Amino acid sequence: MKRLTFALTALLTLTFLLPMQATAHQRHQRHQGGVERLFPSPRHVMALRDELNLSQDQQTRIRALVEEQRSAHQAQRQTLQQARASLREQVQSGANAATIRGAFDQVLELENELKRQRLELGLSLRQVLTPEQRTQLAEKAAERRQKVQKRRELRRQRTAPAAN
C-alpha cells in the first residue's frame, strides 16, 4: 500500500512539474538569450526596414524566406505539441520508464529541430543583408537589449521587498 501511495504521489508530482519545468526553462532561455536570440527575427528586421534602408528586392527576399519557413515551422510545432501531449499522457497513465524516456527524447529532438530551423532562418536572413545593414541591425539589437534590461531592473526594484 505504501508503494502504491508513493508511486501515485510521484506520478502526480511529475504530472504537475513537467509542464512547469518546461515553461520555466523556456522563460529562462528567453531572458538569457537562448538560441532563439542569436539572430533578430524577420519581423524585427522588417520593422527597421526604413532605418536599414532595405531595398525592395531585400524586402521581397525576406518575405519569401519567412513564407518558406512558416509552413515547415508550423507543421513541426504541431508535431511537437502532439509529442508533448503524448508524453504527458504516458506519464499520467503510468507507462514504464523506457516508454516515458523514449517520448521525452522525441520531444527534445523536435524542440532541437525547431531551434535548428530558427538558426537556418537567421543565417539565411543574414545573407540578404549587406555588412553595413548587419552592423546597424546589431547596434539596434544591442540598444533594444539595454532598454529591456533597464525595464527589468526597474521592475525588480519596484517589486523587491523594502529593506528595513
The residue among 126, 134, 125 whose CA lies nearest residue 62 is: 125
Which residue is associated with the grid cell 528586421? 45
What is the tens place of the pLDDT at every residue in 31-46?
445 666 677 888 888 8
Domain spans in the chain, listed from the N-terminal domain onward:
39-136
Single-letter residue type at 51: E
> What's the pLDDT at 162?
61
Q: How far apart are CA 162 and CA 16, in angstroms?
A: 33
The mean-pLDDT minimum among 33-37, 108-112, 144-148, 156-160 falls in 33-37
Does the predicted model carry a pTM greater than 0.75?
no
pLDDT value of residue 77: 92
Element (H, E) at 89: helix 56-93
